[in-house]
Amino acid sequence: MQIGCHGLVWTGSVDPEGFELSVTKSLTSGFDILELPLLDPYSVDVASARAVLDKQPITVTGSLGQSRATDITSESLEQVAAGEDKLNTALDVLSALGGRYLVGVLYGELRKYDEPPTSAARANGITALRSVADRATELDITLGLEVVNRYESNMINTAAQALRYIDDIGRENVVVHLDSYHMNIEESDMYRPVLLCGDRLGYVHIGESHRGYLGSGTVNFPEFFRALDAVSYNGPVVFETFSTAIVNKDISRMLAVWRNLWHDSEDLALHANHFIRNSIHSIETLSMH
């Protein structure tokens, strides 16, 4: 398993300086992966980022949630086209940086909805994702659809819903992206959803119940890591946290980041890296005896 860190642990900006800082700090904290927030993939300076990666090699992945203007689960073909273009642009950025995963709420706008999606809107999103998935296949990139809580999507709140949605897309390179923070809100436990996904689980976010320090909340991490071991999960495992200490205006509003859960990025990241690796190691010892 490769262990990673979300870019917002380090900085709210994705400019060249922000990218270099995120790469340097992720490497010195012991991570294998840096997950780049690609909410605005058009703004990424790919040449500068590429130059940083030539000096400091780290695996890059990318994540995003759609905005109102780019919601592919919509009856407006204009919004669907804009969302598809954003996803394709994110694929271009990742491809240039050697990234192999584009994950997150790719399938719709990240917000609290007032009603369920219409069947026409859902069908539009699925059609768009088929086309993006085909392009991703050519670039050797996997799409991870993140299962999020009810206040961030009206479509995929459980692993079971994600599997049905992915069945409807019908593309091999579209996988389930589970996040312990969201599972802790919506799933019945931390074990069965992982087994339900099996080898269709392709990306994992590790977040505490309040998105602060791992181990300081209510998420049952031993059960979750035991489940990952049970399905022989070997994809990325990325630490995700948000605090008012590091602010990206768009993400902070989308995810309702109103509180300061930590202030020292380096202490937080070192702790998270040890926590994740120790958790995996603990479970591995079970099969040694």
Chain contacts with Mn ion (rule: CB under 5 A): 179, 205, 240
Q: Minimum distance between the CB of residue 43 and Mn ion, rounded to whole angstroms?
A: 21
Rounded least distance, CB 14 to Mn ion, Å: 17
The CB-of-177 to Mn ion minimum distance in angstroms stands at 8
32 near 2, Cβ under 8 Å?
yes
Query: Which CB atom, from 179 or from 229, has the smaller least distance to Mn ion?
Result: 179
Exposed/middle/buried for 284, CB within 10 Å: 0-12, 13-18, 19+?
A: exposed
Nearer to Mn ion, 124 or 182 (CB): 182
**Which string of DSSP letters, residue by residue, matches 42-109?**
GG--HHHHHHHHHHS--EEEEEEEE-GGG-SSSS-HHHHHHHHHHHHHHHHHHHHTT--EEEEEEEEE
58 and 30 Cβ atoms separated by less than 8 Å:
no
Q: Which is nearer to Mn ion, 8 or 163 (CB)?
A: 8
- Nearest to Mn ion of 28, 244 (CB atom): 244
Backbone angles phi, psi at 178, to 5 degrees: -100, 150
Does the active-site annotation cover 78? no
Q: How far apart are CA 274 and CA 267, in angstroms?
A: 11
Q: How far is the CB of 146 from Mn ion (least distance, A)?
A: 6
- DSSP letter for each residue of 5-48: EEGGGT-S--SHHHHHHHHHHHHHTT-SEEEEE-SSGGG--HHH
Sequence-separated (6 or more) residues with CB below 8 Å from residue 92: 41, 46
Which of 146, 152, 187, 208 does the annotation list as catalytic? 146
Minimum CB–partner distance for residue 76 and Mn ion (Å): 27
The token duo for 21 is 């800082």
Work out the angle at residue 139's Cα, subtended by the Cα atoms of residues 170 and 125, and round it to the nearest 5 degrees: 40
Whether 146 is a known active-site residue: answer yes
Tokens of 268: 């937080």
User: Which is the catalytic residue, given 109, 187, 208, 240?
Assistant: 240
The smaller minimum CB distance to Mn ion, of residues 229 and 240, is found at: 240
- What residues are annotated to the active site? 146, 240
